[in-house]
Amino acid sequence: MKSKVQNPKSKINIFLIGSIIMGLGNFFCARASVDFKTFPEPKEDLKAPADAGNQVMVVAGGCFWCTEGVFENTPGVVDVVSGYAGGTKETADYETVSTGTTNHAEAIRIVYDPKKTSFGKLLKVFFSIAHDPTELNYQGPDHGRQYRSAVFFANDDQKRVTEMYIRQLNDAKIFGTPIVTTVEPLNGFYSAEAYHQDFVKNNPFHPYIMQQALPKVEKAKKAAAATSQPAEK
């Protein structure tokens, strides 16, 4: 489980220990990973008007440190905020959510430029890189409903595209077991405490980040580089 120490900027800078932790993270993530290049694109996507401004999507996939780090390295993403979704404003704080007694999930709000990416393309990153959508109410070492896999839809179109993509992935048997991601209405998003924001950037030597987040971030960077390469003639 992630530390609840109030000063998360303390770092472990011993190179040998860091290398071992990073190696373990890469090993376990590699075992559960899928190939982004061959991972299916959504058959249906949202088409924003030509003059549309930035769009927003909210997802949850375990620890928000990890999912935030992935999408901060995804092309077309303008901003990512860690926070809580699914519960009430009164219970939207880290200590309360961590008890697992609220309806909140650790979530992220993604602001993206529809001229550079799309809702569907970001769903692909979410399902193929950001987390394992077949783990029910946990992700890796983090257990509890606050770590569930979820897409919080802001409108019927987001709901429709998400549900169709989940059905598409299940029908194609992309994963060994069915996807358990919930599709829930977005009734509110509440930003997490300041020290949670940009946690991967600010704490690259934190043991949890090295083991759980950095392997996913590296996959996101490789996926971004691959998609930005010009097509072969």
pLDDT digits (tens, 9 = 90+) for 70-128: 999 999 999 999 999 999 999 999 999 999 999 999 999 999 999 999 999 999 999 99
22, 57, 59, 63: the catalytic one is: 63
pLDDT at 5: 39
DSSP character at residue 86: S
pLDDT at 230: 52
pLDDT at 33: 59
Tell me the DSSP string of 46-80.
Answer: ----TT---EEEEEEES-HHHHHHHHTTSTTEEEE
pLDDT at 24: 43
pLDDT at 18: 41
The predicted-structure confidence for 199-220, as pLDDT tens digits, reads as follows 999 999 999 999 999 999 999 9
Cβ atoms of residues 70 and 105 within 8 Å? no
Single pTM value for the model: 0.86
pLDDT at 56: 98
Three-class SS state of 185: strand
The predicted-structure confidence for 14-46, as pLDDT tens digits, reads as follows 333 444 444 444 444 433 458 999 999 999 999
- Check pLDDT > 60 for residue 11: no
CA distance 139 to 143: 7
Cβ atoms of residues 189 and 57 within 8 Å? no
CA distance 143 to 63: 10
pLDDT at 227: 80
Residues of the chain with pLDDT > 70: what percent? 83
The predicted-structure confidence for 175-196, as pLDDT tens digits, reads as follows 999 999 999 999 999 999 999 9
Please say if 63 is a catalytic residue.
yes
